[in-house]
Amino acid sequence: MKIKDILATGKPSVSFEVFPPKKDAPFEPVRDAVARLALQKPSFMSVTYGASGNAQANTVEIASFVQKCGVPALAHLTCLSSSRDRIAEELKTLRTAGVENILCLRGDLPKDASEPPPGHFNHAVDLVRELRPSPFCLGGACYPECHPDCAHMEDDISHLCEKVEAGLDFITTQMFFDNNIFYRYLAKLRSRGITVPVIAGIMPVTNGRQIDRICKLSGTYLPSRFKAIVDRFGDSQQAMLDAGVAYATEQIVDLFANGSNAVHIYTMNKPEVAERIMSNLRGIIG
Ligand code: FAD
């Protein structure tokens, strides 16, 4: 099923994100996590692309498995590190596997490269233009706290406008920990004429040690309320799990209460986290 049709129903949508096994790593643990996550009946499940080390081919395989579990799959596809031929091949395999949704991304260059190899796409908008004539439902990424490569939010939104106009059906945000940042951003997008659904990306933080590094890389603001949680509970796995699930649940309840209809949980292959959040939301999402 196409994500644009799921979102058009107007029902609250909760989706999950998983990452594929790294190159040469076993598939079984990821398949097991996906099968368990599917039992929570998410609206769809997205599968990242090459984000955790050369796992590009595995994205298609895991996306196919998501479909087999009865959940619509959203396959991520980055264009900076993939040749046009490779992208064409991936699309063929995805189509054969019945995957109807693609998240069009630029991705990032490896640390030792300064520009994309000749013939590669430069920005996600180039990938959207290439794929738009196809029947795939297309999504893209957006950044409530501005993309780290862009000096000004207004310029970043101008680039997003261009990407949406090229043919995106929906956009998903980078994680944020302060909902007010999301509300202000959404208002800006609407005032700039972006009318496609905006899916709020929520990261349940269950490991206190990782969060500083992730936020430095992405430029995500950590509210003092959130920092206090990490400072107090970050060293205890169980306490951080409880606190991270509670914080994410509260963010999601607030988003639904304020009119957002679609939330994407960065579940990071952790079914126990998704199960606890979904259990907290049962009465809200039905
Ligand atoms: P773009 O939309 O191309 O934007 C990148 C930068 O270029 C921005 O600063 C933008 O303002 C600027 N820009 C855009 N168009 C132009 C233009 N025409 N001229 C000048 N500047 C321009 N990474 C992975 O490797 N794998 C994944 O699976 C993955 N999944 C993600 C999912 C989500 C929801 C999000 C938010 C991010 C994800 N990422 C993933 C990270 C993403 O690849 C990086 O953030 C990357 O740096 C930007 O990708 P993009 O598609 O947003 O790029």
Do the beta carbons of residue 128 and residue 159 sit within 8 Å? no
Beta carbon of 48 within 6 Å of any ligand 1 atom: yes
| Centroid of ligand 1 to alpha carbon of 231 (angstroms) | 31
Report CA torsion sign: 34, 40, 46, 49: negative
Beta carbon of 156 within 6 Å of any ligand 1 atom: yes
- Going by alpha carbons, the residue nearest to atom 20 of ligand 1 is 159
Looking at residue 218, its pLDDT comes to: 85
Looking at residue 211, its pLDDT comes to: 84
Q: Which residues of the chain have pLDDT under 70?
A: 51-56
| Per-position DSSP letters for 125-170, written without gaps between them | HHHHHHHTTSS-EEEEEE-TT--TT-S-HHHHHHHHHHHHHTT-SE
The CATH number given to whatever domain includes residue 263 is: 3.20.20.220
With a CB cutoff of 8 Å and minimum separation 6, the contacts of 137 are 2, 3, 4, 5, 100, 101, 102, 169, 170
Looking at residue 160, its pLDDT comes to: 98
Token readout for 154 is 């207004």
| Centroid of ligand 1 to alpha carbon of 105 (angstroms) | 5
Beta carbon of 43 within 6 Å of any ligand 1 atom: no
- Going by alpha carbons, the residue nearest to atom 29 of ligand 1 is 48
Domains: count for the chain: 1
- Average pLDDT over the chain reads 94
Q: Can you tell me which atom of ligand 1 is nearest the CA of 123? A: 3
Beta carbon of 123 within 6 Å of any ligand 1 atom: yes
Active site residues: 17
Looking at residue 81, its pLDDT comes to: 79
| Centroid of ligand 1 to alpha carbon of 148 (angstroms) | 9
Q: Which of 116, 112, 143, 102 is nearest to 3 (CA)?
A: 102
**Residue 54 belongs to what domain range?**
3-285
Beta carbon of 145 within 6 Å of any ligand 1 atom: no
Which residue among 128, 159, 165 is best mutated to probe the pocket of ligand 1, counting the most ligand atoms within 8 A of its Cβ?
159
Q: Can you tell me which atom of ligand 1 is nearest the CA of 150? A: 9
Task: Give strand ranges (E) for the chain.
Answer: 13-18, 45-47, 73-78, 101-105, 137-142, 170-173, 198-202, 262-265
Looking at residue 192, its pLDDT comes to: 98
Beta carbon of 51 within 6 Å of any ligand 1 atom: yes
Beta carbon of 264 within 6 Å of any ligand 1 atom: no
- Going by alpha carbons, the residue nearest to atom 28 of ligand 1 is 48
Q: Can you tell me which atom of ligand 1 is nearest the CA of 218? A: 45
| Centroid of ligand 1 to alpha carbon of 123 (angstroms) | 7
Beta carbon of 124 within 6 Å of any ligand 1 atom: yes
In what helix (H) or strand (E) does residue 279 lie, and over which residues does it extend? helix 271-285
